[in-house]
Structure 1
Amino acid sequence: MADLRFDGRVAVVTGAGRGLGRSYAMLLASRGAKVVVNDPGGGLSGDGTDAGPADDVVREIVAAGGQAVASTDSVATAAGGKAVIDAALDTYGRIDVLIHNAGNVRRGSLKELSYEDFDAVLDVHLRGAFHVVRSAFPVMCDAGYGRIVLTSSIGGLYGNQDVANYAAAKAGVIGLSNVAALEGAAEGVRSNVIVPAAVTRMATGIDTSAYPPMGPELVAPVVGWLAHESCSVTGEVFIALAGRVARAVIAESPGVHRPAWTVEDVGEHLDAIRNIEAPLVFPAVPDGHHQHIRYSFGLAQRSSERGVLHG
């Protein structure tokens, strides 16, 4: 199989100065992409700025024969997000790939988490995703081509202790990607979510001594495929953790239909309501929202027809 390359493509990678983002940027550049390496260079909490990390990655890419430009704007504001995308448009005249990887961490229990820390994390992970997608998406649609990869997390899927802000933001990213996938489907724009796990500085404070190999290089190829023109899926969520690559879905039990319910009925039918042995999956694209509704409406219609027949 021939190498999948990005010759002629322009990619924006946020949070690309270190860790996973750096790995993504280096991989795409090594395969021919022109890369905007975005990173304001702040600390884990998102405070401070340092042009060094983004500049260092650009130097590495150029030294290896690739093309890249640094951007130190913060995705946490609408103006910053627009500036990141403008860096691609002003320098290279187009944007084909958007990978939103930028992140910060501010821990605190739900009892104690401050509003400031809640907003600071949503500003980068969720609002930051919107800021760059909002600027890039119309350009991609006009060009008839685009690949968007947004970053969620295990915490976004399942929650975790002391990170209500992070979990809420990462869950929200999935909804944003689904809408981009739906609205971009007819425009040649595909949007998917990566749920990565790698030992980077984001793991500071976590005992990783017993972990298996979990370097960014085990995640980057998955993101590379999602960012490539050959990517054949949209509106999906991919997990990349310690060498395992999988798809995550939202699933429903078939449920129970009754023409009327009481509080007591819910309790009496709880086992059947919760029975997930034959799960239902309604993919976001092409029509998961309406498939979900039609399924429930169909049960109601069949129940009504049975009532008429037996009346």
Structure 2
Amino acid sequence: MQKLKALIIIFLTIPLICLSQNSKNIKQEIAGLFAKADKKNLQNVLPFEIGEKTGLIDASTKKTILEPTKNLRITNLFSPIMKGRYKDFEFEINPKNFQIKIIKPEQPNNDLVPQIRDISGESSKRNGPEVVYENGFKGFAVNGDGELLRYSNIYVSLYQIPQVTPFKYKGNYYAIAAKKIENNITKYGIIDTDGNTIPHFDFIYDKIYINSLATNENDTWFIVNADTNNSCEKLLEQSAYMNMNGEVKLKGELADYPATGDHFGLDANMSGCIKFSGVLDVAKMEWIIKPQTKIMIRWLDYTSKEVLDDSKVENRNKAKMYVRVLGNNSIYYMDLDLKNKYIPIKNKK
């Protein structure tokens, strides 16, 4: 019996030892990838991709830190923690003392049977908004916190979520709402609590979103679009910012629905067919980079020396912002002014 217990302990211990040793080796390999990086200024390390390979470049010197390799993917720049994947391991790098943390992805256990919960009786217990079927009632009501309490059945739900979104403007409540019109098509408009349609916001829009970064109780701005089924060019013509007074900004310039921004109130505004792209300051509703076709901006990203709440515009000056560009068989970063491209330049022979 004692021998059996010893064998079991050895059997259980060997995988742990192997995993620990493997993790140590992976740490050493990752450290080797960053061997040429300036450890005191890791925020300058930017990835670039050529085909299916990822390399590293120093943004301050534009020197290549790592030639492209197949096994590496960077998912988060140093802001301040860098995250990525190397081989079959996820990793994090803390710039403080260059600490590398290895995270082994959990392997699914096929022996485990998913636990199915019976929720058939739960829907009746949920305290959701009441749908009112009374003849003549075409409005909505909110509770003391401004949350939707009930609404007319003439407005639709999507995936059991009411498409009635209340907001407060100059002391009164209004709502973005959706309903079926001709040919059973869903369109959006804005109503008051009695269901009266607000001028300029008839039910002609495919979507209406509140621009939360440019909105206060006395000046509420929305982004609207009349028909998202049109071509990219038509979509561009019909999108605009509009406030409750009917004032319009950037009509014919917007490619999608920038209502919150990607980071710090900035939005990588790109058409669905990827024909034109720019960078928009959503809070100011002004262009940082006007829509253009020469450089295809797909994402925004940033580095920082401290943890930042990227939903707050005021934190923008604490970060270094970049645009991530889709090139010919490559992905790389550029500054917001588009003057610097962070990808190795091959010397002409």
User: Higher helix share goes to which structure?
Assistant: 1
The interval holding the TM-score normalised by the smaller chain is under 0.3
User: Higher strand share goes to which structure?
Assistant: 2
Structure scoring higher RCO (CA < 8 A, sep ≥ 6) equals 1
Larger C-alpha radius of gyration, 1 or 2?
2
Structure 1 length as normaliser, TM-score? 0.27
